Amino acid sequence: MVRAFHATRVFDGTRWHEDAALVVEEGRVARIARDVPGAERVAGWILPGLVDLQVNGGGGVLFNNDPSAQGLACIRAAHARLGTTGMMVTLITDTPEVVARAVEAAASSDVMGLHLEGPHFAMARKGTHDGALIRPMEEVDLRALEAAAGRVRLLCTLAPEVVGVEAIRRLVAAGAVVSLGHSDATDAEALAAAAAGARMVTHLFNAMSPLSHRAPGLVGAALDDERFCAGIIADGFHVEDAVLRIALRAAPERIFLVSDAMSTVGTDLPGFTLNGREILRQGGRLTLADGTLAGADIALIDAVRHVVGLGVGLEEAWGMGSSLPAAAMEDASRGGLREGQRADFVAVDEGLGLCGVWIGGVAV
> Are 16 and 29 in the same domain?
yes
> Are 41 and 107 in the same domain?
no
7, β-bridge pairs: 20
Mark whether 297 is an active-site residue: no
> Are 224 and 182 in the same domain?
yes
pLDDT of residue 162: 98
The separation between CA 76 and the C-alpha centre of its own chain, rounded to angstroms, equals 13
pTM of the complete model: 0.97
Asked if residue 137 lies in contact with residue 162, where contact means CB atoms within 8 angstroms, the answer is: yes
Residue 141 lies in a domain: yes
Range of the domain at 100: 50-328
pLDDT of residue 276: 87
pLDDT of residue 112: 98
Domain count, the chain: 2
> Are 182 and 299 in the same domain?
yes
> Are 314 and 200 in the same domain?
yes
Residue 334 lies in a domain: no
pLDDT of residue 275: 84
> Are 36 and 120 in the same domain?
no
Asked if residue 314 lies in contact with residue 303, where contact means CB atoms within 8 angstroms, the answer is: no
Please pick, among 12, 52, 187, 260, the residue that the annotation labels catalytic: 260
Helix (H, G, I), strand (E, B) or coil at 228: coil
CATH no. for residue 357? 2.30.40.10
pLDDT of residue 1: 85
At 216-251, the pLDDT tens digits run: 999 999 999 999 999 999 999 999 999 999 999 999
At 151-208, the pLDDT tens digits run: 999 999 999 999 999 999 999 999 999 999 999 999 999 999 999 999 999 999 999 9
Residue 87 lies in a domain: yes
> Are 183 and 237 in the same domain?
yes
Residue 60 lies in a domain: yes
- Cα 221 to Cα 163, 187, 195, 231, 241, distances in angstroms: 18, 5, 12, 14, 21
Asked if residue 219 lies in contact with residue 255, where contact means CB atoms within 8 angstroms, the answer is: no
Q: Is 138 exposed, middle or buried (0-12, 13-18, 19+ CB in 10 A)?
A: exposed
> Are 166 and 293 in the same domain?
yes
> Are 37 and 56 in the same domain?
no
Residue 135 lies in a domain: yes
Residue 333 lies in a domain: no
Residue 140 lies in a domain: yes
pLDDT of residue 192: 98
CATH no. for residue 247? 3.20.20.140
Helix (H, G, I), strand (E, B) or coil at 287: strand
Cβ-proximal residues to 293 (8 Å cutoff; 6+ apart), any chain: 127, 128, 206, 237, 238, 285, 286, 287
Q: Give me the long-range contacts of 324-328 (CB less than 8 A, separation at least 24).
A: 324/229, 324/253, 324/254, 324/255, 324/256, 325/51, 325/52, 325/53, 325/231, 325/256, 325/257, 325/258, 326/51, 326/86, 327/229, 328/53, 328/177, 328/199, 328/200, 328/229, 328/231, 328/256
DSSP 159: -
Q: Low-confidence residues of the chain, pLDDT below 70?
A: none
> Are 84 and 16 in the same domain?
no
Residue 155's Cβ-side half-sphere holds a number of Cα atoms within 13 Å equal to: 32
Interhelix angle 139-149/165-174, nearest 10 degrees? 20
| Closest to 125 (Cα-Cα) out of 80, 76, 185 | 185
> Are 155 and 8 in the same domain?
no
Residue 335 lies in a domain: no
> Are 201 and 346 in the same domain?
no
